């Protein structure tokens, strides 16, 4: 079964909004083994929407459409759908009631502007909106299907998860695909180095395919394996994964959609350990990522964002002479920060970062992108040096990623490479 995703909104075509909805839907469809053949972003325009519905039904069995269902005047999707199927809007009691209840729960009044939320095309089944007021639509069109959802991510996601995926499961057997996918997440090596370490890919992959996807957090390696049966494909995938892990396993921190902070959180909880952070150049990003995970209070107790030298001295017990002699961005200060935060917080580990994120702050000997990361435990402290690029926000991401990966490798007992 093939799926076609249409995202509606002028904001997409002027580049004001990044289309995260399409990738969420694509991911969910892929999970239940539908094949997404195309994603299109088109304007809030009745004719463009109708034209794309034609394309979608030509190419695929299921068209998933988001956007333009809100209560304001710029929302024309409902109108386009009614016109495409040559039908009419009818009042839907349930949709109207949903809207009223949703507003009531939030202490808001039901007003004239909300009345349109109770109208649906006559040929549509309502997809309940549990997170907002605009109802979704599920329309059978010959042997094909159309799902129309609001563009607000939280509302769209609930509809995909609660209604569409389960509806699709009742329509066919979507778990029997003989194509399986897995993504191995690496960090710490550029794409070309990773490829070299893997050696002859043809031999390694044995007919399967692999894509390298680099970004500031690392390189993702996506494997796609086909077999005669699903079981055969899964067996083959396992073998390939093992061969890859034997060559670059130390750089692989997770799989598929895992985040490094999730992996670190699980390891910290398993080992019943605690950590504190002393951040200069990342400004709190590492602490924020560590606390993105529910239950983080069991391993994260506190963090210090010591942006100024004064803060480093007062809160982390960094020596003023060391600061004067070596500068704030130095292995010596980084070490004292890691040791200081661990001691003052009484945690098992102390993690510190100091560096120059750009665009200013470089000196003769210290270029933009220079970063030191320190990790201390009861036995001492190890500081590592990194050289990143010249983009401030990307440098913050890279620094936080390498810092978290140092913690991961420490917890797993993976030593630095020779």
Interactions with a second copy, residue window 204-233 (CB under 8 A):
209-215, 220, 222, 224
5 CB burial (10 A radius; 0-12, 13-18, 19+) = buried
Give CA separation, 340 vs 120, 284, 312, 333, in Å. Answer: 62, 17, 9, 10
Instruction: Pick the piece of the chain touching a second copy (CB under 8 A) from 87-95, 107-115, 231-239, 246-254.
Output: 107-115
By CB under 8 A, residue 172 contacts a second copy: no
By CB under 8 A, residue 78 contacts a second copy: no
List the one residue from 154, 171, 238, 412 that touches a second copy (CB under 8 A): 154
Q: How far is the CB of 202 from a second copy (least distance, A)?
A: 8
Contact 194, 186 (CB under 8 A): yes
Count the neighbouring beta carbons within 10 Å of the beta carbon of residue 83: 15
The strand ranges marked E within 111-191 are 119-121, 125-127, 136-141, 144-149, 179-186
Number of residues that bind a second copy (CB under 8 A): 101
Interactions with a second copy, residue window 277-296 (CB under 8 A):
277, 279, 282-288, 290-292, 294-296
What's the DSSP call for residue 70?
S
By CB under 8 A, residue 37 contacts a second copy: yes
Of residues 372, 343, 391, 367, the one with CA closest to residue 280:
372
By CB under 8 A, residue 160 contacts a second copy: no
Q: Which is nearer to a second copy, 269 or 315 (CB)?
A: 315
By CB under 8 A, residue 105 contacts a second copy: no
Distance CA 237, CA 179 (A): 10
Q: Which is nearer to a second copy, 279 or 335 (CB)?
A: 279
By CB under 8 A, residue 249 contacts a second copy: no
By CB under 8 A, residue 369 contacts a second copy: no
Give CA separation, 314 vs 306, 328, 348, 349, 376, in Å. Answer: 9, 14, 21, 20, 19
Interactions with a second copy, residue window 339-358 (CB under 8 A):
345, 358
360 CB burial (10 A radius; 0-12, 13-18, 19+) = exposed
Q: How far is the CB of 338 from a second copy (least distance, A)?
A: 16
Distance CA 17, CA 156 (A): 16
Q: How far is the CB of 49 from a second copy (least distance, A)?
A: 12
List the one residue from 125, 191, 235, 377 that touches a second copy (CB under 8 A): 191
By CB under 8 A, residue 315 contacts a second copy: yes
By CB under 8 A, residue 200 contacts a second copy: no
Instruction: Scan for tokens 């060391």, then name that residue.
Output: 322
By CB under 8 A, residue 30 contacts a second copy: yes
List the one residue from 28, 78, 236, 342 that touches a second copy (CB under 8 A): 28
By CB under 8 A, residue 113 contacts a second copy: yes
């Amino acid at each position: 079964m093939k799926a076609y995703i249409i995202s509606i909104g002028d904001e997409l075509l002027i580049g004001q909004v990044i289309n995260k909805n399409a990738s969420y839907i694509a991911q969910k469809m892929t999970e239940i083994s539908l094949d997404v053949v195309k994603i299109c972003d088109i304007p809030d325009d009745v004719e463009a929407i109708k034209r794309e519905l034609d394309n979608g039904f030509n190419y695929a069995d299921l068209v998933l459409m988001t956007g333009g269902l809100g209560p304001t005047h710029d929302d024309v999707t409902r109108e386009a759908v009614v016109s495409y199927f040559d039908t009419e809007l009818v009042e839907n009691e349930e949709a109207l009631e949903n809207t009223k209840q949703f507003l009531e729960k939030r202490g808001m009044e039901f007003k004239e502007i909300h009345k349109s939320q109770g109208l649906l095309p006559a040929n549509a089944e309502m997809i309940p909106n549990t997170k907002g007021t605009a109802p979704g639509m599920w329309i059978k069109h010959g042997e094909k299907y159309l799902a129309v959802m609001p563009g607000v991510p939280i509302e769209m996601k609930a509809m995909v998860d609660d209604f569409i995926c389960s509806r699709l499961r009742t329509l066919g057997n979507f778990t029997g695909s003989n194509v399986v996918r897995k993504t191995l997440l690496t960090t710490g090596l550029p794409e070309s180095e990773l490829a070299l370490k893997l050696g002859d890919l043809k031999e390694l992959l044995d007919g399967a395919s692999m894509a390298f996807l680099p970004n500031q957090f690392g390189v993702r390696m996506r494997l796609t394996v086909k077999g005669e049966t699903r079981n055969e494909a899964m067996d083959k995938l396992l073998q390939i994964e093992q061969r890859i892990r034997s060559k670059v396993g130390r750089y692989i921190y997770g799989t598929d959609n895992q985040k490094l902070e999730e992996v670190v959180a699980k390891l910290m909880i398993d080992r019943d350990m605690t950590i504190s952070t002393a951040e200069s150049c990342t400004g709190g990003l590492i602490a924020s990522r560590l606390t993105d995970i529910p239950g983080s209070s069991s391993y994260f107790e506190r963090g210090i964002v010591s942006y100024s030298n004064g803060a480093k001295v007062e809160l982390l017990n960094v020596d003023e002479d060391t600061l004067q002699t070596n500068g704030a961005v130095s292995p010596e200060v980084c070490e004292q920060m890691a040791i200081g935060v661990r001691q003052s917080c009484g945690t098992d580990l102390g993690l510190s970062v100091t560096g120059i994120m750009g665009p200013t702050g470089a000196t003769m000997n210290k270029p933009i992108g220079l970063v030191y990361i320190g990790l201390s435990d009861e036995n001492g402290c190890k500081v590592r040096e990194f050289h990143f690029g010249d983009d401030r926000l990307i440098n913050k991401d890279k620094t936080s990623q390498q810092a978290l990966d140092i913690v991961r490798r420490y917890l797993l007992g993976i030593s630095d490479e020779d």
